[in-house]
Structure 1
Amino acid sequence: MRRSLLAVAVLTAALAGCNREAPSAPANAQDGAAATAPSPADAAFAELSKRYLDEVMALSPVSATQIGDHRFDAEVDDLSAAGRQAGLDFNRRYLAELGAIDFDKLSRENRVDALILRNQLEYGIWDTEVMQSWAWDPQTYSGLAGGAIYGLMAREFAPMPERLKSATQRMEKIPTILAQARENLDPARVPPTHARTVAAQNKGVLALIETFITPNADQLQGQDRARLDAAVETLRAAVEEHQAWLDGTLVPNAKGEFRIGAEKYDQKLKFALNSSLSRQDIRQRAEAELTRIRDEMYTVAQTVLEGRDGAPETPAQPTEDQRQAAIEAAMEVAYADRPGRDEVVEYARHTLDVATDFVRKHDLVTVPNDPVKIILMPEFQRGVAAAYCDSPGPLDKGLDTYYAISPIPDDWTDAQVDSFLREYNKHMLHVLTIHEAMPGHYLEGAHSVNHPSTLRAVFRSGPFAEGWAVYTERMMADAGYADGDPLFRLMQLKFYARAVANAILDQGIHVDNWTKEQALDLMVRQTFQQQSEAEGKWTRAQLSSTQLATYFVGAQEHFDARKAAEAARGEAFNLKQYHDDMLAQGAPPVRFARQLMLNEDIQ
């Protein structure tokens, strides 16, 4: 899972940006003379892009910090009615200006950027007016409050005293964010799971203070230090006040429906994924792929179980029960090889070294020297996923990428810990590292940030990023990672089955009104997830919609793009060159990357 830089901004209809110029001319050599003499349409779009990217930051200062524009580091987003209206007016104004440009006369590169911008402007308007997350999703506010501090303090983009001064001013404003949450949220519309989750996360903001602010507070002196101390105390009181409201008002009265229904789901899917695949296409392909995966897992299980005492029968034509028993038995072999409770992070560090060496040795894709660090997931981010990749913003050059892993909670029972470590055994941790770091999210981010279009960088596609990470899991296995160890292949297939199940689960819950029992059957029995993982995914599926589909949809489009490139290039196809070319596109929706690479129509 790649932590989205745009999550907060989407909700305020100010999606992100920066103050650098967008390219005024196309980057493709095939555009010829236009590279030195842009058309009037290209010139108009470049001017619009520059203004948009320069102005949008004031509407979403927290996202601006994450992107790497630090002009508004002392400010926070305004989620009041007036702030939402300002975002709507801004998006409508730029949508009208964009509509006046003849897309057919734009260069291919600029046409892609214009289509991406139009989609995001329409998405922002739709989210504010139709989805109305501000009225029923308390995560909107908790994520903003935590991100306001984390974005300033997690990376050394400026000297610590400077960042502490900005953090002081933001801490003074966070109580307003919490007050806006109490003003805007309608408990009757807030789903119970959302209320309980945010109530549990609320004090994570204070954990950020203890982690980042308190240990460094002595770097400020005099009035600056006094103001910081006062801001911390004011924030502590505001968090406690908000906690009392969450526990006493929101949680007891949260009666909303977390399922968003078919109409909103289809609309959000179109905006959020910007894919060529419809909901029906996704479901059909996912169900067919799940059948294929289970067949392949059975074949691998036959290899794992061969000659083992007490192993179940593995006939060439198994019944469904025989297939299930064989795969489960083979997985038990992998589950037995697991790290200790306190060894997960250290073993993940080892897997990062192994994966990096393998990619370089087999020359699969260019590996830059950008730093990546494994860290414990910040408390305010926990509860959604076991790990994520947190890349620096496109303007924060040379800063660390974080591969964040959620530690096992201290209050977990032995049974919960056992379930977690079975799921994240040593073989699965290799797969997780491939997905999150090398050559998955970390490597993709390190390449994509070099694309000249800043607009494309700040609107980077979730399906491109997540799909690439899933694609690399299979690509590494096919290349012989782990010396072809069948237990690694089994875990890779299991992890891929999770991605497939995510797409089915997302629709099943939000469109087909699945019960928890139906969801757990898909996750635990059909795709072999541990109970703790499945329980967590059930919660995550309630807390979000369409995001779970990005893994499968993006992967399918990446697999399709590679097949098309192999067919087009024939014997001249080179895998490393293909990967480098794909990552050089700047992470637009995969269909646009494919169209640019293969000179297909942009649509």
Structure 2
Amino acid sequence: MDEFLKWYFSDRPVIASTLGADGYDHTLGDFTAAAWTAREQEEVRWLDRLSALRTASPDDTIDRDLVLSQLRGSIALASWPAWRRDPATYLSAIFASMFTPFQHRLKPEPELVPAAVSRLAEVPGVLAACRANLDPDLAAPLLVQRGLGQARTGRNFLTRTIPSMVQDEGLRATLAEAAEPAARAFDELVAFLEGFECGGSWRMGEKLYSTLLREREMLAYGAAELHEKGKAAWAELDERMRRVARGVNGTEDWRAAMDSLMDDHPPTLADMRAEYEVETQRARAFVKEHDLVTFADGEQCHVLPSAEYTRPVLSVAHYLSPPPLGASRTGVFFVPYTPDDFTPEQVRQRLRTNSRATMPSIAVHEAYPGHHWHLSYMAGNPRTVRKVFRTPYFTEGWALYVEKVLHQEGYFDTPATELAHLDCRIFRAARIVVDTALHCGDMSVEEAETFMATKASLSPGTAQGEVNRYCAWPTQAPSYLTGAIEIDRIRESFRGSPKEFHDRIAGSGGLPLGLAEQAALA
């Protein structure tokens, strides 16, 4: 396993340094077509080698099967190569490699800046590979436009945002100077993408979608069954919300009730961040008082505006975990700021989607005992491979599962916050329905946007951003409620207290759910 990880890190230095592995922070890696092809061939060899590996303990078996699930998923995706379809494959690596080290600040500036300068020198080559590798017959206009929105933030991000994170004036000047050639490369990419004509599809198709569910996520069902599960969950939640809505507006119209609740929101983006910070600390105190989990030593969760480069493509709150291979246990809950070119009405709609009734559920999901608690606690697991590979079907499933736990414990203590909690859940049921239908060819983008705006309490603008994300990230959107339901099912078979269950299953990593069940019930 150590040998495999050495190869994996050497081949993916940005991922390695983001995880906190030493020795990989001076390079972006090889993004040429030859490198992608060689990587795919090497994955097949590793799959064969590890499949034949005998293990000495149940934990070793889980480690091996975790890697095999990741390899099987990656090999299946070779038939759907993102590196030929989606500019984000290149852009995300550049943005993460520059932003994350300065955000975490695990090393002093005299070490961070030279590493960033070294990576900046490689940016033109990576973006040249992007231009060379994008296939007009495979790339979809929707994905190219999404990438174009990100690429347009590149110059400002490299020449202003990142240097502004450096305190030493001399080092800041050095970084800004090194950023200029990389910024010109972004300008060239923007011009290229603006004129790039393509005719590929973003739809994955039922066969590959189901293969990923079964092989990578280790679920016992495929896309069609998952779609039906989403519809059934939506119907059950719709019935519950009709009852709760009576306490909000006196009727069973929960959409109208949620619409009225959305009018009570922070007045500005800065106020939204400040109120989320207060709610995050309230959630932490509640979890500690009710003794629901064991906290990692030294954990902290900062609540900050979302990074500039994520704003064109992420319309919801999100989280940056502490590097699990390092000593830090400090994570960041990013509040979903809007791009600078948004109109006042678009900003208002973003604020409405983050209403005061909804904030408690989102803070629980992103911070305590959701993503931040989970990922800071599991970083203490001694098995390295568990820190490297995790699936959203566990991590997002966990965060939604604990929303339900806190509801049962009385955290959502008014009809308004209870209805908002259920709305967050029915939103995830709608995601299952829409994502499976989109990628299996049963729903258009316009139909999906209407579904999300009418079957959950999303503004039209936020629904549009959500559906755009689903098109670009197949199988991820269903992970929330699917994982939560599966963790609930595992909990029913566990003999022990809620705290013991939470520490064991979440502390075992972010495993595919079949392996999480083995770890919890062993």
Partner of 1:117: 67
On the 8 A contact 1:65/1:151 being kept in 2, the answer is: no
Query: Could you list the runs of 5+ residues in structure 2 that have no partner in the other structure?
Result: none
Normalised TM-score (structure 2): 0.94
Tell me, in whole angstroms, the C-alpha distance in 1 between the residues paired with 2:41 and 2:417.
52
**Structural mapping, 1:328-347, within 5 Å:** 328-342=255-269, 343-347=271-275
Partner of 1:51: 3
Tell me, in whole angstroms, the C-alpha distance in 2 between the residues paired with 1:198 and 1:117.
30
Q: Match of 2:99, as an amino acid?
A: Y
Cα distance, 1:186 vs structure 2: 1.5
Partner of 2:292: 364
The answer as to 2:85 corresponding to 1:136 is yes
Query: Greater Rg, structure 1 or structure 2?
Result: 1
**Structural mapping, 1:159-170, within 5 Å:** 159-170=108-119
The answer as to 2:18 corresponding to 1:90 is no
Tell me, in whole angstroms, the C-alpha distance in 2 between the residues paired with 1:408 and 1:142.
19
Decide which of 532, 540, 544 is 2:473's aligned counterpart.
Answer: 544
The answer as to 2:208 corresponding to 1:260 is no
Cα distance, 1:266 vs structure 2: 1.7
On the 8 A contact 2:102/2:165 being kept in 1, the answer is: no
**Structural mapping, 1:163-182, within 5 Å:** 163-182=112-131
Q: Match of 1:298, as an amino acid?
A: R
Instruction: Specify the SS of the correspondent of 1:154.
Output: helix
Cα distance, 1:530 vs structure 2: 2.0
The answer as to 2:500 corresponding to 1:577 is yes
Partner of 2:51: 99
**Structural mapping, 1:551-570, within 5 Å:** 551-565=480-494, 569=495
Tell me, in whole angstroms, the C-alpha distance in 2 between the residues paired with 1:58 and 1:558.
34
Partner of 2:454: 525
Provide closer, same or farther for how the CA distance between residues 408 and 136 of structure 1 changes in structure 2, counting only shifts above 3 A.
closer
The one-character-per-residue Cα deviations of 1:367-413 (angstroms, maximum 9, x if unpaired) are: 33411101111122222341111102211212520101221334333
On the 8 A contact 1:157/1:399 being kept in 2, the answer is: no
Decide which of 348, 354, 375 is 2:276's aligned counterpart.
Answer: 348
**Structural mapping, 1:64-463, within 5 Å:** 64-102=16-54, 106-128=56-78, 130-209=79-158, 210-214=160-164, 216=166, 218=168, 220=170, 228=175, 230-247=177-194, 249-250=195-196, 253-306=197-250, 314=251, 323=252, 326-342=253-269, 343-368=271-296, 369-382=298-311, 383-463=313-393
Tell me, in whole angstroms, the C-alpha distance in 2 between the residues paired with 1:414 and 1:75.
40
The one-character-per-residue Cα deviations of 1:415-467 (angstroms, maximum 9, x if unpaired) are: 32332222210111111111111110000101111111111110122211000
Q: Match of 2:283, as an amino acid?
A: A
Using the TM superposition, name which of 577-586 and 426-435 deviates more.
577-586
Tell me, in whole angstroms, the C-alpha distance in 1 between the residues paired with 2:233 and 2:74.
33
Tell me, in whole angstroms, the C-alpha distance in 2 between the residues paired with 1:512 and 1:240.
35
Paired positions, count: 518
On the 8 A contact 1:262/1:510 being kept in 2, the answer is: yes
Tell me, in whole angstroms, the C-alpha distance in 2 between the residues paired with 1:408 and 1:245.
25
Tell me, in whole angstroms, the C-alpha distance in 1 between the residues paired with 2:52 and 2:255.
59
Query: Could you list the runs of 5+ residues in structure 1 that have no partner in the other structure?
Result: 1-48, 307-313, 315-322
Cα distance, 1:282 vs structure 2: 1.6
Cα distance, 1:57 vs structure 2: 1.4
Q: Match of 1:353, as an amino acid?
A: Q
Instruction: Specify the SS of the correspondent of 1:169.
Output: helix
Partner of 1:470: 400
Tell me, in whole angstroms, the C-alpha distance in 1 between the residues paired with 2:453 and 2:37.
45
On the 8 A contact 1:448/1:457 being kept in 2, the answer is: yes
On the 8 A contact 1:160/1:219 being kept in 2, the answer is: no
The root-mean-square deviation of aligned C-alpha atoms, in Å, is 2.0
Cα distance, 1:137 vs structure 2: 1.1
Using the TM superposition, name which of 491-500 and 511-520 deviates more.
511-520
Instruction: Specify the SS of the correspondent of 1:259.
Output: coil
Tell me, in whole angstroms, the C-alpha distance in 2 between the residues paired with 1:69 and 1:219.
28
Provide closer, same or farther for how the CA distance between residues 329 and 123 of structure 1 changes in structure 2, counting only shifts above 3 A.
closer
Tell me, in whole angstroms, the C-alpha distance in 2 between the residues paired with 1:232 and 1:417.
30
Tell me, in whole angstroms, the C-alpha distance in 2 between the residues paired with 1:85 and 1:187.
19
Instruction: Specify the SS of the correspondent of 1:547.
Output: coil
Tell me, in whole angstroms, the C-alpha distance in 2 between the residues paired with 1:398 and 1:141.
27
Cα distance, 1:220 vs structure 2: 4.8
Tell me, in whole angstroms, the C-alpha distance in 2 between the residues paired with 1:82 and 1:487.
55
Normalised TM-score (structure 1): 0.82
% same residue: 26
Using the TM superposition, name which of 525-534 and 407-416 deviates more.
407-416
Tell me, in whole angstroms, the C-alpha distance in 1 between the residues paired with 2:339 and 2:107.
33
Tell me, in whole angstroms, the C-alpha distance in 1 between the residues paired with 2:339 and 2:36.
37
On the 8 A contact 1:371/1:401 being kept in 2, the answer is: yes
Partner of 1:9: none
Instruction: Specify the SS of the correspondent of 2:487.
Output: helix
Q: Match of 1:420, as an amino acid?
A: R
Partner of 1:8: none
Tell me, in whole angstroms, the C-alpha distance in 1 between the residues paired with 2:294 and 2:403.
17
Using the TM superposition, name which of 172-181 and 367-376 deviates more.
367-376
On the 8 A contact 1:156/1:399 being kept in 2, the answer is: no
Provide closer, same or farther for how the CA distance between residues 385 and 267 of structure 1 changes in structure 2, counting only shifts above 3 A.
farther
Instruction: Specify the SS of the correspondent of 1:372.
Output: strand
Tell me, in whole angstroms, the C-alpha distance in 2 between the residues paired with 1:63 and 1:204.
22
The one-character-per-residue Cα deviations of 1:116-173 (angstroms, maximum 9, x if unpaired) are: 1112222233323x11111111111111121221233221111111110010010000
Partner of 1:320: none
On the 8 A contact 2:378/2:387 being kept in 1, the answer is: yes
Tell me, in whole angstroms, the C-alpha distance in 2 between the residues paired with 1:428 and 1:414.
21
Provide closer, same or farther for how the CA distance between residues 188 and 90 of structure 1 changes in structure 2, counting only shifts above 3 A.
closer
